[in-house]
């Protein structure tokens, strides 16, 4: 199962990264969001840590919506969804592969969003880098798990995917913003956000493994 998941992830990453179009749109949209947050303040004013973290995570969220819309649109566009289902491997392997590809693509986008947040919103990263990298990975994993499950429902319709995803991701986004604010120097934010993000990941990884088989093949 893992071999098939990695093959699917490699295939999707090759298609998205080599063409570049899917990720480019997502990165541009995220950057525009960060710029607007930066421009919205008074001239010379400093954006507070929590607002900067919110801008970073909103950019990541929009990036994730476009990424998963693109990932599930790959097979739809070529009429190949049924072929993927008929390949004989567990459907959960497809979920794992797509989620892994989505995780990597969102992380690629965040490699642009993070420096943009530091530069344009005037932030500094405080504290041990390994802790913030771990927090980032934890939140991104939750985004990938739920984004992949509901991305299969959206079938390439980004508008519907956004409407479904945004409310459900509130707890994870709040955790991401809390942890991000702490990374940007707001010391009072450490209130169990890591535990909440871990709980979210556990619940939605289990839900994804259990429920993906119902939404991906479907009865058309």
Residues of this chain that interact with other proteins (CB under 8 A) are: 146, 149-150, 153, 160, 163-164, 166-168, 170-172, 174-175, 178, 188-189, 191-193, 196, 199-200, 203-204, 207, 211, 214-215, 218-220
Between 46 and 163, name the residue whose CB sits nearer to other proteins.
Answer: 163
Q: How far is the CB of 18 from other proteins (least distance, A)?
A: 31
Closer residue to other proteins in complex, CB, 107/174: 174
Shortest distance (Å) from residue 183 CB to other proteins: 16
Q: Which of 134/207 has CB closer to other proteins?
A: 207
Cβ 178 to other proteins, closest distance in Å? 7
Residue 124 CB: number of other CB atoms within 10 A? 9
In a 10 Å sphere around its CB, with 0-12 CB exposed, 13-18 middle and 19+ buried, how is residue 96 labelled? buried
Backbone angles phi, psi at 125, to 5 degrees: -90, 125
Taking residue 36's Cβ as centre, other Cβ atoms within 10 Å add up to 10
Nearer to other proteins, 108 or 215 (CB): 215
Q: Which two tokens stand for residue 102?
A: 């989505």
Q: In the complex, what is the shortest distance from the CB of residue 198 to other proteins, in angstroms, rounded to a whole number?
A: 11
68 within 8 A of 148, measured Cβ to Cβ = yes
* 53 closest CA partner among 113, 104, 105: 113
Nearer to other proteins, 75 or 112 (CB): 75
Other CB atoms within a 10 A radius of the CB of residue 162 amount to 16
CB of residue 219 to other proteins, shortest distance in Å: 4
């Amino acid at each position: 199962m893992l071999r098939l998941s990695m093959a699917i992830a490699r295939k999707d990453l090759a298609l998205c990264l080599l063409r570049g179009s899917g990720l480019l749109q997502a990165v541009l949209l995220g950057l525009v969001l960060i710029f607007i947050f930066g421009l919205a303040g008074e001239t010379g004013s400093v954006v507070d840590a929590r607002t900067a973290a919110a801008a970073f995570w909103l950019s990541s969220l929009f990036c994730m919506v476009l990424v998963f819309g693109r990932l599930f649109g790959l097979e739809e566009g070529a009429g190949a969804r049924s072929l993927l289902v008929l390949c004989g491997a567990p459907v959960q392997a497809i979920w794992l592969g797509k989620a892994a590809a989505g995780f990597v693509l969102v992380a690629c986008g965040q490699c642009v969003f993070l420096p943009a947040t530091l530069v344009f919103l005037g932030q500094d990263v405080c504290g041990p880098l390994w802790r913030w990298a771990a927090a980032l990975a934890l939140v991104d994993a939750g985004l990938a798990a739920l984004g992949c499950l509901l991305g299969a429902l959206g079938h390439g319709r980004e508008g519907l995917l956004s409407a479904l995803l945004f409310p459900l991701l509130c707890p994870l986004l709040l955790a991401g913003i809390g942890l991000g604010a702490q990374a940007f120097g707001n010391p009072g934010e450490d209130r169990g956000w890591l535990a909440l993000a871990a709980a979210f990941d556990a619940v939605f990884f289990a839900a994804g493994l259990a429920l993906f088989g119902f939404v991906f093949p479907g009865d058309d």
